[in-house]
Structure 1
Amino acid sequence: MELLIRPEKPTDHSAIEKITEAAFAGKPYSDQTEHLIVNRLREAGALTLSLVAELDGKIVGHVAFSAVAIDGEYKDWYGLGPVSVTPELQKQGIGSKIIREGLSLLKEKGAKGCVLEGSPIYYLRFGFKSYPNLVYEGAPAPEYFMALPFYEEIPTGKVEFHKAFYTGSS
């Protein structure tokens, strides 16, 4: 069983939606709209990078990256998420592999860094951490908003994800 990580294709959209719905079903930190976020990002042409993990010809994971604004300006920083793995295959390293590949590709494309809202326990392994001068007001607590600079410069300011992240927007 070899895991293949590749860019999404139009024929993958349905599988991505199903995996994302299943991955977040019943999670107390989720409002169950992650699959809609991916669809809205795609429809808006705002998916900077969208990768799937394929195992034996079947899509089992997905990660999305989209540009973020910092104090209203785009500065080559990107947001990670949503990321999802088929529930029965979670905690087997698929999510980590697809995230690492995405971060590597972003850096190769000239990105300066990546931000996310998520579990510090999970995302510290990739080098993400909180920076007091880079904030996202939508985070439940400051430690849940983290950044991974690809270079030494860390911007300061308020981060805004694409409007697709907010329910009912497109």
Structure 2
Amino acid sequence: MKQMRPEITIRDELAADIGAIHDVTAAAFETMAFSSHTEQYIVAGLRTAEALTLSLVAECDGRVVGHIAFSPVTISDGSQGWYGLGPVSVLPGYQRQGIGKALVKEGLVRLERMGARGCCLVGHPDYYRKFGFRHVPELVYEGAPPEYFFVFPFGDQLPQGNVTFHEAFLADQPSGDSV
């Protein structure tokens, strides 16, 4: 029996979604061995620092079931307009139904419309290559093995240097956001 895909709406987060985003993010990473289980605090830290450039939710039947965050990154050569993707979260019961994929695709479209030069992330190689993310020797992120660091340029110009994600990615506890 083929599983039916739920009807999903991708939209900007609203203030009323903050608690649901926290819960979705915590639940999505709860059983993942590679996770430090701080992803919900990263999102809260980005929001508190006003560094959450783009925050989208996936909604199904009026319920937030997924979330994706984009925030500015710093590149040592001074290049501007580059963003980090992450975390991306989908409730466990809704995973493997294309919701994460829809969030990533919509987020990249919106970033490009905003005039972004590119996007980078630390993630699973098999998953993110499907979207066109790739390794480039010109950009380095020292916080993870190189095979997990990917970039998606929105043009031919590639910066050169070290990438630094927002300090909220170092979160290990709540940042003061109420949930």
TM-score interval, normalised by the smaller of the two chains: over 0.9
TM-score, normalised with respect to structure 1:
0.96
| Cα RMSD for the two superposed structures | 1.3
Matched, 1:88 2:93: yes
| Gap runs ≥5 in structure 1 | none
Select which of 15, 19, 34 maps to 2:20: 15
Name the residue aligned to 2:30.
25
Name the residue aligned to 1:157.
161
Give the alignment of 1:120-159 within 5 angstroms.
120-139=125-144, 141-159=145-163
Secondary structure of 2:152's aligned partner? strand
| Deviation of the 1:73 alpha carbon | 3.2
Determine the C-alpha separation between the residues in 1 that align with 2:170 and 2:28. 19
| Gap runs ≥5 in structure 2 | 1-5
Matched, 1:53 2:58: yes
Q: Is the 1:116–1:147 Cα contact (8 Å) retained in structure 2?
A: yes
Q: Is the 1:47–1:64 Cα contact (8 Å) retained in structure 2?
A: yes
Determine the C-alpha separation between the residues in 1 that align with 2:88 and 2:45. 15
In the alignment of these two chains, the number of paired residues is 169
Determine the C-alpha separation between the residues in 1 that align with 2:133 and 2:172. 29
Q: Which has the higher contact order (CA 8 A, sep 6+)?
A: 2
Determine the C-alpha separation between the residues in 2 that align with 1:19 and 1:104. 23
**Segments ≥4 residues shifted beyond 4 Å:** none
Using the aligned pairs only, state the percent identity. 53
Secondary structure of 2:71's aligned partner? strand
1:99-123 alpha-carbon deviations (Å, 9 max, x no partner) = 1000000000000000000001000
TM-score, normalised with respect to structure 2:
0.91
Select which of 17, 34, 39 maps to 2:39: 34
| Deviation of the 1:2 alpha carbon | 2.2
Q: Which has the higher strand share?
A: 1
Letter of the aligned partner of 1:24 in structure 2? F
| Deviation of the 1:133 alpha carbon | 1.7
Work out which of the two has the higher radius of gyration on C-alpha atoms and give 1 or 2: 2
